[in-house]
Structure 1
Amino acid sequence: MNPIIEYQNHLTRRQFFAGAGLGIGSVALAALSQQEISAAAIDRVHPPLPGLPHFTPKAKRLIYLHMNGAPSQLDLFDYKPGLVDQFKKELPDSVRNGQRITTMTSGQSSLPVAPSIFKFKQCGESGMWMSDLVPHMHSIADEITMIKSVHTEAINHDPACTFVMTGSEVPGKPSLGSWLSYGLGSESNDLPAFVVFTPTFPKDSQAQALFTRMWSSGFLPSSHDGVALRGAGDPVLYLQNPPGVNGSDRRRMLDALGQLNERNFERYADPETRTRISQYEMAFRMQSSVPELTDLSGESQETLAMYGPDVHRKGSYASSAILARRLVERGVRCVQILHRGWDQHANLPKLIQGQCNDVDQATAALIRDLKQRGLLEDTLVVFGGEFGRTVYSQGTLTDNNYGRDHHPRNFCMWMAGGGVKAGMTYGETDDFSYNITENPVHLNDLNATILHQMGIDDRRLSFKFQGLQQRLTGVEETHVVKDILG
């Protein structure tokens, strides 16, 4: 006889009731837990996954300011006064050390060193170095941690931008915002968990294309896609009901459509059917929530003036910045602003001034605005690009004109709020801003740190796809940058 069956046949009466009591207790506990989960699900349209966050978060929400095209760290934040003496001299072989350069520069007969023509100063009580290109950011130096030692492998824009947002150079992976939407959901029932802005930029900028993969949900359910709010016309297409259709008509149509989709789900069990149902419901709620979101008439004149005159121009970076604050204020989990035009291979001094004029004031205003409202403490703000720029000039170098090529070896990003130390500079580079000399931070480590501040262990947030447990930070070992955390 099977020994397990034999053991079961010889259970005493006392053993039976003892085991049954434990079983009934566990069933009751499970039922109570399920009731709590169900209650939470009723309260939240976008509930978190069970068990998330993994630990108490320092940040409840994320605003990611992505400067698409790669801002020059040498002209903004990585002060190298000794380069003045290296003007037009060849970049030493001992510095380059055989590292690859792009085909855009490899054909040049020389790699002449191009010191920044912009002045730098130490800002705030922290003494953080910033150039005069970003005078408004000088005022927030004591609110941010400047990381000078970020690095990546990608050397061209498309794979680099894909990597900075998805953790992979290969398209098809979920973006950071989609992972946050999937894992943590949102506190807002009337707005998407993940919202994206692609604001206008100076017309003479050298702009790279933006691809929806940077805010795509990839292999996650499509309900976690970033929702891009438009800068012209209605923020969302078809926001208004067509002529002759009122809100109650729309409600009846959605109810009938929902019943048909539920039958379809019962028949085929396709999870995308449920996604379609939830997205129709969200679209219905957004018909009232989005017009209220974009109406700035309730903002004080002092607040609007802080963001600058462009705050009234729909689709501008300043308008996007104040809407980002209004979104997180209403419980949205992640807001991403992608500002194009930072790819300055030639005529950098002129072009970078235009870019900085477009974002400097509104970026500083966003930090101050969040702080004044008590939101900065648990809102994490990230500012940066996909890689850095070279110390040597691409093309002709003169006293007041130069260009810079792509440089993945090191670049600057800064973080503010959300439990990050304030007024800190982390990491260091050599005298040419070419190699990291202290505290390197890989982009995967940066993303692991962002997730950590949001209460997520990046090793434990995964989704099985194509036979693998996929993660934002990949399969290699990552490190949370604990030195920058408060």
Structure 2
Amino acid sequence: MIPTLVSRRSALRTAGGGFGYLALAGMLGLQAKNARGSQEAPKVGPLAPKPQQIPAKAKRIIFVFMEGAMSGVDTFEYKAKLQESDGKPGLGGGKFVASKFQFAQHGQTGTWVSELYPNVAKHVDKLCFIRGLHTDTPAHPQAVMQLHTGAANATLVRPSMGAWLLYGLGTENQDLPGYVTVNPSPNFGGAVNYGSAFLPAHYQGTRIDDTGFLQNLKAQQVTSLQRKQIDLVQSMNRDLLAKPGAPDSLEGVISSYELAFKMQGKVPDLLDISNEPQHVQDAYGVKPGPAGSFARQCLIARRLSEAGVRFVQIRQGGWDHHNNLHKGLINNSAATDQPTAALLTDLEQRGLLEDTLVLFGSEFGRLPTAQGEDGRDHNITGYSMWLAGAGLKKGFSYGATDEYGIHAVEGRMHTMDLHATLLALMGLDHEMLTYNYAGRDFRLTDVAGSVVREIFA
């Protein structure tokens, strides 16, 4: 067969629309598959709300991430035996170091909390503590990535927990991103921790800083001119869409431009916490500069959740206390105690806590033995987190570590079990929530994970 010769001009003219589409799709990172044809019913977008797979009360998650591994035996894990054993030889080497902070029992449940968290302590009767957690690696990058994506191996990039939730449930507000991460760290995996990996890119997290700044949101042209520009691009893409062989995802791309246009008018106001009454800002402890960073994040998280964002993550770093433990704990708890307590109060007063999950914790814990003069090393064999909100038992503790706080000995719960449980609380079956890639079905929990129903209300 004689090959057909195509001129350079003809090739460019024929492929020009395709190049334009590729550039457009690349900028937006979308892979929405929609059917075409005037006889077919219009399909909803890929981020439209989807039904839960199993009955559940929770509609959204706020993950309050304490990056760097906060010390449980100095904050929420009172160990009388450790206090009695100060200076004695530790199990496996070193010496035990009692917490320098006073613990007291709070609420009707009599839950022990250290003096570092007096405001959060007022909420213990609505908290659900998970006290028997364990994970696989004592290195921060791998442990942080495993907590966020289920995979500890940096070469095996997986979708983040928020991306899986967005894939499984869609978002409640089609004018906003469904997944927002506030003040994410560039370290310990960086963007992998809020990425979508092999899931379509519209499931990845949208990054903003602790002042609510979102890059490339402000239009460079007046609204009327921008509308004309978008209309021109949209008309060309609709022309391409009408042609035989047009990319299936183009209709979703067209819709995304409309979403981006609408976001310009809504997102800036939503992220502007100066719109909040002064008494609300005061309750969170909002102030300018780095000292008010976490307070601003908590208030932004409430505003985003109230507006229908499915998954919001906020972050307080600086918990890696191999040294300067005493002063470091004082500084970090002072930055996080009031805002966290205010977030819980605000969500409850607005009726949001009944269908919102709040998760508070780190990638792992710290040992009860000394490291240097004033530090504690990593502990992956037994640590705690707490949850609050929808579908949970209130004032409840599940699992426990030993009398020193080293190993989880009751209700052991791996990171994969935590993921399976969170998905179930959100109405998703972790074994059914799969995505086929490279010839196999992937899931957040890979081939592991068990739902811990003992914490369900």
Taking structure 1 as the reference length, what is the TM-score of the superposition?
Answer: 0.80
1:375-412 deviation per Cα after TM superposition (whole angstroms, max 9, x unaligned): 1000011000001111111113xxxxx21111110111
Distance of aligned partners of 1:118 and 1:463 in 2 relative to their CA distance in 1, 3 Å threshold: same
Quote the offset at 1:45 in angstroms: 7.3
Post-superposition shift, 1:266?
A: 6.7
| Structure 2 match to 1:10 | none
Is contact 1:147–1:427 with CA below 8 Å preserved after alignment? yes
Q: Is contact 1:311-1:322 (8 Å) kept? A: no
Deviations 1:285-329 (A, max 9, x none): 221111210233543333222111338979711111111111111
Question: Match of 1:269?
Answer: 247
Distance 1:412 1:246, change over 3 A: same
Q: How does 1:442-481 map onto structure 2 within 5 Å?
A: 442-476=414-448, 478-481=449-452
- Residue deviations 1:26-80, cap 9 Å, x none? xxxxxxxx96xx58x2xx772145xx31123210111011111111111111111
Match of 1:395 among 361, 368, 372: 372
SS in 2 for 1:363: helix
Q: Which moved more, 1:452-461 or 1:77-86?
A: 77-86
2:123 matched to 1:140? yes
Query: Which position in structure 2 is the counterpart of 1:290?
Result: 267
Which residue number corresponds to residue 352 of structure 2? 375
Q: Alignment length, in residue pairs?
A: 414
Does 2:188 match 1:188? no
Specify the alignment match of 2:216 in structure 1.
238
Structure 1 residues 422 and 287: alpha-carbon distance in aligned structure 2, compared to 1, 3 A threshold? same
Separation of aligned partners in 1, 2:446 and 2:414: 12
The answer for unaligned runs of 5 or more in structure 2 is 1-39
CA displacement at 1:424 relative to structure 2: 1.0
**Structure 1 residue 347: deviation in Å?**
1.3
What is the alpha-carbon root mean square deviation over aligned residues?
A: 2.4
1:425 maps to: 397
| Aligned residue in 1 for 2:146 | 163
What is the alpha-carbon distance in structure 1 between the residues aligned to residue 309 and residue 431 of structure 2? 24
Query: Quick one: distance in 2 between partners of 1:209 and 1:462?
Result: 26
Q: Using a 3 Å threshold, how does the CA distance of structure 1 residues 331 and 404 change in structure 2: closer, same or farther?
A: same
Q: CA separation of 1:278/1:301 partners in 2, compared to 1, >3 Å: closer, same or farther?
A: same
1:312-461 to 2 correspondences below 5 Å: 316-396=293-373, 402-461=374-433
Partner of 1:226: 205
Give the counterpart letter for 1:129 in structure 2: W
SS of residue paired to 1:235: coil
2:177 and 2:82 mapped to 1: Cα distance? 48
Query: Aligned partners of 1:275, 1:121: CA distance in 2, in Å?
Result: 55
Q: Does structure 2 retain, via aligned residues, the 8 Å contact 1:79–1:129?
A: yes
Distance 1:56 1:223, change over 3 A: same
Relative to 1, partners in 2 of residues 1:410 and 1:325: Cα closer, same or farther, differing over 3 Å? same
Q: Which runs of 4+ in 1 moved over 6 A?
A: 311-315
Structure 1 spans left out of the alignment, 5+ residues: 1-33, 94-109, 201-206, 397-401
Q: Does structure 1 conserve the Cα–Cα contact (< 8 Å) formed by 2:150 and 2:445?
A: yes
Deviations 1:353-385 (A, max 9, x none): 111111111111101100001110000110000
Separation of aligned partners in 2, 1:173 and 1:274: 27
Task: Give the AA of the match of 1:173.
Answer: R
Counterpart in the other structure of 1:5: none
- Distance in 2, matches of 1:227 and 1:266, equals 34
- Paired residue for 1:57? 56
The equivalent residue for 1:484 is 455
| Cα distance in 1, alignment partners of residues 317 and 259 from structure 2 | 29
Residue pair 2:49, 2:172 contacting (<8 A) in 1 also? no
Partner of residue 251, structure 1:
227
Q: Which residue does 1:30 correspond to in 2?
A: none
Q: Does 2:47 correspond to 1:46?
A: yes
Alignment pair present for 1:111 and 2:91: no
Question: How do residues 69-84 of structure 1 correspond to structure 2 at under 5 angstroms?
Answer: 69-84=68-83
1:185: how far off? 0.8
* 1:216-269, Cα deviation, whole Å (9 max, x unpaired): 01110001110011235x721222222xx2212222222332344563897573
Name the amino acid aligned to 2:263: M
Name the CA shift for 1:313/1:430 in 2 (closer, same or farther; >3 Å).
Answer: closer
Q: Which of 273, 281, 285 in structure 2 is aligned with 1:304? A: 281
CA 1:329–1:266 in structure 2 vs 1: closer, same or farther (change >3 Å)? farther
User: SS of 1:309's equivalent?
Assistant: coil
Distance 2:201 2:138 in 1: 30
Question: CA, structure 1 residues 485+241, in 2 after alignment: closer, same or farther (shift >3 Å)?
Answer: same
| Amino acid aligned to 2:123 | I
Which letter does structure 2 place at the counterpart of 1:64?
Answer: F
Structure with max Cα Rg: 1
Give SS of 2:163's match: helix
How far apart are the structure 1 equivalents of 2:407 and 2:291?
A: 41
Q: 2:273–2:299: 8 Å Cα contact kept in structure 1?
A: no
Amino acid in structure 2 at the alignment position of 1:426: Y
Residue 163 of structure 1 deviates from its aligned partner by 0.3
Tell me how far apart the structure 1 counterparts of residues 370 and 424 of structure 2 sit (CA, whole Å): 38
